[in-house]
Amino acid sequence: MKLKDFDGFVGQHCETTATGALLRHLGIELSEPMLFGLGQGLGFVYWNMKSMDFPFIGGRIKPDALTDNLCRNLNLELDVSQTTSAKKAWAHVSGPIESGIPVGLKLDCFHLDYFATKVHFAGHYVAMYGFDEEFAYLIDTQQQGMRVQTSLESLASARSEKGPMSSRNLSFTISRRGNVPELSGIVARAIENNAIDYLSPPITNLTYKGIAKASREIKKWFHTSKDVKRDFQTTAMLMERAGTGGALFRNLYRDFLREASELTSNAVFERASITFEDIARRWTRVAQCFHDAGETSDFASIEAASELLVEISSLEKAAMAALQRAASCEN
């Protein structure tokens, strides 16, 4: 069976695409930048462990938090289920769908039939809107084909996979619990909350402190890497094309701030969107430096990326501080 009149959502980032599809089924139409911004999604992480092939550079808050923030800001009910039981895991998705409700899933995309690049990543999200005896019918990002299908066996493996960022067969549904507030009244709160978190990272691997740390660590990484081409060109691809919307999510946040400024007529939000346009260009240049370093093994490209990261750290810290001040006046 498949849900009738299920339009899905065309998006670039997996969590906003999956959640956007569920919201659209409720009659809530928001742009992907607005979903990202109301989800207080802007962040940064530089993560390196001995068990990893190479360091991970991410540009958003931790998995699951974005949808939780989004639903809280929109006054929506988020019902999350996790289980180690395969039988219960299936009931958590089949039951709602049989009742006409699409389900969000968090899983490891390595097992999905339609993924051409087989890399373990257990922080991937899809929306499920149907199934039959053989296949599950999903909404994924635009670059993955949007309306896709995978075998029920592969879906079960993807949902139960263990490892970094994995969850225990996590699924979620979203429902209304009252009126959805006017966007003009909630964008400032989302901006302020995101700024507060961004400016107060609990560890130095995160947000502007993490960017500054990355500016130093990438030099060590280059000199100790066993495969410079693989490491830095893969990272460049992930930063620009792996569901980030380009520029490590900064394009999405730039566009959110532009929408927020139009909704509120707040000049600081408008100026910040222009600042993030500049920041986004710098992130794209960092990715290009990484690609060039992989192509030529020239340390000069890493030095150039390091200098850009120092600039970005300072620019983002200042921009988020200005946004926090302006947003607090709106609330």
d(CA 277, CA 198): 18
Read off the pLDDT of residues 131-170 as tens digits, 9 standing for 90 and up: 999 999 999 999 999 999 999 999 999 999 988 888 999 9
Query: What is the four-CA torsion angle of 227, 228, 230, 235, rounded to 10 degrees?
Result: 140
* Domain at 151, CATH number: 3.90.70.10
Share of the chain above pLDDT 70, in %: 100
pLDDT > 90? residue 118: no
How many folded domains does the chain comprise? 2
Tell me if 269 sits within 8 A of 324, measured CB to CB.
Answer: no
pLDDT > 80? residue 51: no
Q: Are residues 155 and 255 in the same domain?
A: no
Q: Are residues 169 and 32 in the same domain?
A: yes
Angle at 42 between CA 105 and CA 256, to 5 degrees: 95
Would 71 be classed as within a structural domain? yes
Would 9 be classed as within a structural domain? no
Contacts of 147 (CB under 8 A, 6+ apart): 8, 137, 138, 139
Share of the chain above pLDDT 90, in %: 90
Which among 137, 154, 176 is the end of a domain?
176
d(CA 307, CA 309): 5
Structure tokens at 120: 């373990």
Would 155 be classed as within a structural domain? yes
Higher pLDDT, 186 or 4: 186
Instruction: Choose among 172, 176, 139: nearest CA to 21.
Output: 139
Which among 176, 192, 215 is the end of a domain?
176
The pLDDT of residue 165? 82
Read off the pLDDT of residues 21-41 as tens digits, 9 standing for 90 and up: 999 999 999 999 999 999 999
Would 2 be classed as within a structural domain? no
The pLDDT of residue 331? 67
Would 265 be classed as within a structural domain? yes
Would 186 be classed as within a structural domain? no
Higher pLDDT, 4 or 61: 61
* Mean pLDDT across the chain: 95
Read off the pLDDT of residues 236-266 as tens digits, 9 standing for 90 and up: 999 999 889 999 999 999 999 999 999 999 9
Pairing verdict, β 42-47 and 56-60: antiparallel
d(CA 275, CA 28): 29
Mean pLDDT across 280-289:
98
pLDDT > 70? residue 317: yes
Q: Tell me which residue range forms the domain holding 306.
A: 207-330
